[in-house]
Amino acid sequence: MTIIVLFLTPPAAAVELDQFIAELKDKSPEHDGVPLRAYRTEDVNHDGDLEVLEMINPIEESAIGFLNVELYPAFEWINVYKKKANNYLMATQDFPNFLKNRKSFYLSWLKRLENPSGLGLDSQSLLKHNASDFKRKLNGYIVRINNMLHSKRSSSIR
C-alpha cells in the first residue's frame, strides 16, 4: 500500500513533504538528540493529497519516560498540516471527521481512566497517583476539539 502511495505521489511533492517534516523535526523538543515528536504522512480526508501529521505528547515532553507504552498514546495530540498555495500550514480544524475520531478516542480513554481494571498494573499505579491530571489533559483536548469544530461550523455558515 505504501508503494502505491509513493508511486502516485509526484517526486517533487515527496521531496517537499520530506523537507517540511525535516523542518518540523528541527523545531521539535529533543532528548539525547532524538526528536520527542513523531511525524507521518497520511491522506486524512481521502482527497488524494498527503497531509503531515505531527504527534505531540506534552506530558512526555515535560517528563521524559514518565508514561508507559500503554498510556502514552492516550495523551498524544495530533496536529495536521496541509499544503495551501506553496506552503504547509497547520490545518487541523479543516478535518472535522479526523477531529471527531480523535474526540471519540479521548472519550474512550476517559472511560478507561474511570475503570482502569483492564489496564496493566503499571498503568493502574500511574493512574492512582495522576488520575486528576490525566483527566484534565484529556478533557482539555476534548474542549479544544469542540472549539475547532464549532469554529469550523461558524465560518462555513458565514
pLDDT tens, 110-137?
Answer: 999 999 999 999 999 999 999 999 999 9
**What integer pLDDT is reported at residue 86 of this predicted model?**
87
Instruction: Please tell me whether residue 81 adopts helix, strand or coil conformation.
Output: strand
Query: In this structure, are residues 14 and 7 in contact, taking their beta carbons and an 8 Å threshold?
Result: no
pTM to 2 decimals? 0.86
Query: In this structure, are residues 138 and 113 in contact, taking their beta carbons and an 8 Å threshold?
Result: yes
Instruction: Supply the range of the domain harboring residue 72.
Output: 2-157
* Total domains in the fold of the chain: 1
Torsion of CA 144, 149, 155, 158, to 10 degrees: -130
Q: Among all chains, which residue has been given the C-alpha cell 500511574?
A: 126
